[in-house]
């Protein structure tokens, strides 16, 4: 077997093992963390596409997350649709919004993009609080009906885990194919040297827009699934905590590395829980670990591995 094929087999094996988690544990606590890990990892991977690969720091992810959550919840609770339709709607709506924000903003500089996306996220947060007729304001929408498929109800944490797991596998699979294609390479090229990209006959705009729209759709659908895990959605769903979580995963994993961010996504979801043994110092230890990680590996975990590889290569070429 070639190494490529062995790696593919290993990835499928790990994916299936993760899918079998509800048979390996009955603990709702662990399964709940696993749902968060799956959803946060996907959202971090989506942020990695626009920030890590394309080099555009988007705070709009928080807005897409929130809109995705509300779109799915409202489809089910207010407009009488089902969960899956809500998810589809969340994806499409967010992709459309990303194109709408991206088209004028991406013509300007990277800094403008950061500010506009941040403003967008804050605006969405305001709307969820103040458009009471639609969102029910600070009270939120509680008792979200669990999703069902062909008569099977995903009504326990163990069952709901499969929804999160299936979505994570699909979304990560798609992102992997995208990032490892020439499209992914072009995004990296745009981040590194946009004038050169243009000199090579490639128009950067469609690539940036597509990356932003895909990232928005995936984050929105992740938000849609996550609020049904919480069974409630209110303006706190737009807490900056979520954005910060995705961003930490991308930075610790290594912006622009697919596997780095996936591994960091899982590790950073588990870490705060592992640290529960010392309740008093939990957040302090978590902060210290983050700080040390950043000091030792400023390019994230993947960046650190990469630096080591580069210095070996330099040494080999000098001989």
Q: Would you tell me how many other CB atoms lie within 10 Å of the CB of residue 318? A: 6
Token pair 């243009």: residue? 198
CA-based end-to-end distance of the chain: 32
Structure tokens at 51: 């920030």
Could you tell me the smallest distance in angstroms from the CB atom of residue 156 to another protein? Answer: 36
Please, which residue, 183 or 270, has the CB nearer to another protein? 183
Compute the least distance from the CB of residue 183 to another protein, in Å. Answer: 6
Which residues form the interface with another protein (CB under 8 A)? Answer: 177-178, 181-183, 185-186, 188-189, 192-193, 195-203, 310, 313-314, 317
Q: Which is closer to another protein, CB of 188 or CB of 270?
A: 188
User: Could you tell me the CA-to-CA distances from 76 to 147, 213, 229 in Å, in that order?
Assistant: 9, 24, 14
Cα–Cα nearest to 119, from 68, 60, 47? 60
Nearer to another protein, 276 or 314 (CB): 314
Rounded least distance, CB 58 to another protein, Å? 21
What gap in Å lies between CA 115 and CA 106, rounded to an integer? 12
Report whether 55 contacts 209 (CB < 8 A): no
Smallest distance from another protein to CB 236, Å = 37
- φ/ψ (deg, to 5) at 148: -140, 155
Shortest distance (Å) from residue 310 CB to another protein:
7
Shortest distance in whole angstroms from residue 201 CB to another protein? 4
Dihedral of CA atoms 156, 162, 165, 170 in degrees, nearest 10, equals -140
Q: At 149, phi and psi to the nearest 5?
A: -140, 120
- Closest to another protein by CB, 156 or 181: 181
Q: Where are the alpha helices (DSSP H) in 131-276?
A: 132-135, 157-180, 182-192, 194-199, 204-230, 240-253, 258-274
Considering the complex, state which of residue 52 and residue 235 has its C-beta at the smaller distance from another protein: 52
Q: Report, in Å, the least distance between residue 317 CB and another protein.
A: 7
Q: Which is nearer to another protein, 85 or 183 (CB)?
A: 183
Rounded CA-CA distance 170/99 in Å is 23
Q: From the CB of 60, what's the least distance to another protein, in Å? A: 23
Whichever of 108 and 193 has its CB closer to another protein, that residue is 193
DSSP bridge partners of 148: 153
Given the complex with another protein, which of 147 and 260 has the nearer CB atom?
260
């Amino acid at each position: 077997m070639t190494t490529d094929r062995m790696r593919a087999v290993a990835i499928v094996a790990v994916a299936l093992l993760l899918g079998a988690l509800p048979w390996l544990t009955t603990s709702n606590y662990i399964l709940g963390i696993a749902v968060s890990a799956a959803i946060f990892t996907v959202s971090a991977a989506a942020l990695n596409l626009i920030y890590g690969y394309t080099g555009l720091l988007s705070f709009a992810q928080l807005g897409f997350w929130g809109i995705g959550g509300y779109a799915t919840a409202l489809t089910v609770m207010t407009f009488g649709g089902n969960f899956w339709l809500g998810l589809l709607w969340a994806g499409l709506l967010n992709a459309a919004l990303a194109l709408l924000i991206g088209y004028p903003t991406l013509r300007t500089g990277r800094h403008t993009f950061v500010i506009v996306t941040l403003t967008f996220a804050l605006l969405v947060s305001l709307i969820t609080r103040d458009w009471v007729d639609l969102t029910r304001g600070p009270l939120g929408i509680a008792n979200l009906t669990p999703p069902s498929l062909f008569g099977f109800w995903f009504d326990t944490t163990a069952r709901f885990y499969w929804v999160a797991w299936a979505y994570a596998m699909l979304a990560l699979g798609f992102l992997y194919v995208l990032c490892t294609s020439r499209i992914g390479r072009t995004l990296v090229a745009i981040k590194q040297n946009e004038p050169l990209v243009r000199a090579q006959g490639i128009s950067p705009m469609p690539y940036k827009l597509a990356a932003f729209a895909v990232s928005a759709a995936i984050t929105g659908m992740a938000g849609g699934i996550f609020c049904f895990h919480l069974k409630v959605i209110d303006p706190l769903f737009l807490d900056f905590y979520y954005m910060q979580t995705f961003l930490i995963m991308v930075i610790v994993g290594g912006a622009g590395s697919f596997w780095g961010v996936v591994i960091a996504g899982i590790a950073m979801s588990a870490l705060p829980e592992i640290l529960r043994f010392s309740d008093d110092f939990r957040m302090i230890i978590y902060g210290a670990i983050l700080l040390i990680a950043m000091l030792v590996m400023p390019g994230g975990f993947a960046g650190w591995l990469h630096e080591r590889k580069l210095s070996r290569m330099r040494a080999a070429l000098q001989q």
